[in-house]
Amino acid sequence: MDADANFSLSDCEHETLKRAAQQRVMPFDEERREYTGSELETFGLVREGYNRREMHKAGVKPERVSCFDEIAVLAERTMPLDTPFGSNIRKWQLPIDMMPIRVSKTVFPKNSVVRPHVHPEGEVGNPGGGLRVVTKGCITFDGKAYGPGDWFFVPNGVPYEFLTSSEGDTEVMYTYAFFAAAEGNRFSHPHA
């Protein structure tokens, strides 16, 4: 997350911040809605996506788009997502206006370790979770090697960790359903 960026929190993002504060036993101001990226990080908030207003500002429209379009190349720089449980990982939201679904691409350098962590459940009966589809390289997860075309899903509330290939970069397509993602929430608050 850009530490210097200013964020005006929507109702669902305000609730996400409140939940993160409660989980971390931190003071929370019910009235405050404006925060910097640095302040949100102190609560453990992680940028998981962009809302429609931000996407439009970045030039993303509800139109035909592919990996060969200039907007797709730009998205890697203009729509980055956080990766707090690993090092040197690049992750960004694809420039597709298909809300509430958001798809991201993640590039893991060889021998990446995604440390053990858990994402909070979204709602009772609908915890959400993350679906990963390996497109290049390999992820070792839960004792199995997942190569190109393989996929796995981890529901929120279930701790997990994984390792990537020692042969080179591993690339993954990823979609993550988290609290109020359908309402445009940009943040979650996973923890180790």
pLDDT 10s digits, 10-41: 999 999 999 999 999 999 999 999 999 999 99
Residue among 127, 92, 109, 102 at smallest CA distance from 163:
109
pTM above 0.85, yes or no: yes
pLDDT tier at 159 (50, 70, 90 boundaries)?
very high
Tokens coding 94? 């694809």
Buried b (16+ CB within 10 A) or exposed e, 1-10: beeeeebebb
Segment 116-143 mean pLDDT = 93
User: Around Cβ 155, how many Cβ atoms within 10 Å?
Assistant: 15
pLDDT tier at 185 (50, 70, 90 boundaries)?
very high
Residue among 85, 127, 141, 130 at smallest CA distance from 103:
130
Percent of the chain whose predicted confidence (pLDDT) is above 70: 100
| 5 phi, psi to nearest 5 deg | -70, 150
pLDDT tier at 189 (50, 70, 90 boundaries)?
very high
Report pLDDT for 124. Answer: 81
Q: Is 78 within 8 Å of 58 (Cβ atoms)? A: yes
Residue among 31, 95, 87 at smallest CA distance from 67:
95
Q: Is pLDDT at 122 greater than 90 in this prediction?
A: no
Report pLDDT for 192. Answer: 82
Report pLDDT for 1. Answer: 82
pLDDT tier at 2 (50, 70, 90 boundaries)?
confident
Segment 46-57 mean pLDDT = 94
Q: Is pLDDT at 3 greater than 90 in this prediction?
A: no
Q: Is pLDDT at 123 greater than 90 in this prediction?
A: no
Segment 74-101 mean pLDDT = 93
CATH class as words, domain 50-188: mainly beta
Residue 163 CA neighbour count, 13 Å, CB half: 9
Q: Is pLDDT at 165 greater than 90 in this prediction?
A: yes
Segment 75-91 mean pLDDT = 94
